[in-house]
Amino acid sequence: MTHPSESILALYAGGDLGWLARRRTERHLARCGECRGEVQGFLAVTDNLIQSNALPVIPWSRMAAEMRANIRLGLAAGECVRSEPLSGPLAWMSNVRTLAACASIFAVVVAGTFLERPSPPSPPVAARTGAILRATADGIELNQGGETLSLLHARTGEVTYSAGAQGSMRAGYVDSDTGNVTINDVYVQ
């Protein structure tokens, strides 16, 4: 049989256990004489302390009545100081916190609208400058105003072309005879 701890028995003797723990302890005490003896010992110590004035008797009912009276007095005082609330459709705006919350929500919405608005797309570089940059079988070619500039590379099948969105093109290749790497970058401005 598992016995309750000494602190549980002391709390039971003082009437300070919760409902469930008190019921469990009472069931155990009904079957266990040893624990009943300990509870009787705790009760005797408490009675001795009260009789010798070492443990003051606390008038809990009087204190509870005083506390209730103080709470009622505080509530009545609060009612006296309370101002009459505004009425009508703008009554909610009387609260400073409400105004601050509404203003901050408005600021977030306005900022979000301006920050998320798509900017008009800028015309491509070729449309602004009239230049056309393209890759040919011989290299990179730039056409502008009827004139052509060509960067030719060595005859090799291993040319890698890449084009940038801002009007640039790169051709890179490895010379099979020498092993040299050549990279040509062309930018349109």
Q: What are the tens digits of pLDDT across the range 35-45?
A: 999 999 999 98
The answer to whether 170 and 133 have CB atoms below 8 angstroms apart is no
Quote the distance between the C-alpha of residue 76 and its chain's center.
40
The domain tally of the chain equals: 2
92 occurs within a structural domain = no
The answer to whether 133 and 186 have CB atoms below 8 angstroms apart is yes
| pTM more than 0.85 | no
Going by C-alpha positions, the residue among 34, 31, 33, 13 that lies closest to residue 22 is 13
Domain boundaries, position 129:
125-187
102 occurs within a structural domain = no
Phi, psi of 27, deg, nearest 5: -65, -40
The four Cα atoms 125, 127, 133, 136 give a dihedral, to 10 degrees, of 140
- Is pLDDT of 147 > 60? yes
34 occurs within a structural domain = yes
The tokens describing 3, both together, are 């016995």
Cα four-point dihedral sign 26, 32, 38, 41: positive
The tens digit of pLDDT for each residue in 55-68 reads 666 777 788 888 88
35 occurs within a structural domain = yes
109 occurs within a structural domain = no
101 occurs within a structural domain = no
62 occurs within a structural domain = no
The tens digit of pLDDT for each residue in 10-49 reads 999 988 888 899 999 999 999 999 999 999 999 998 888 7
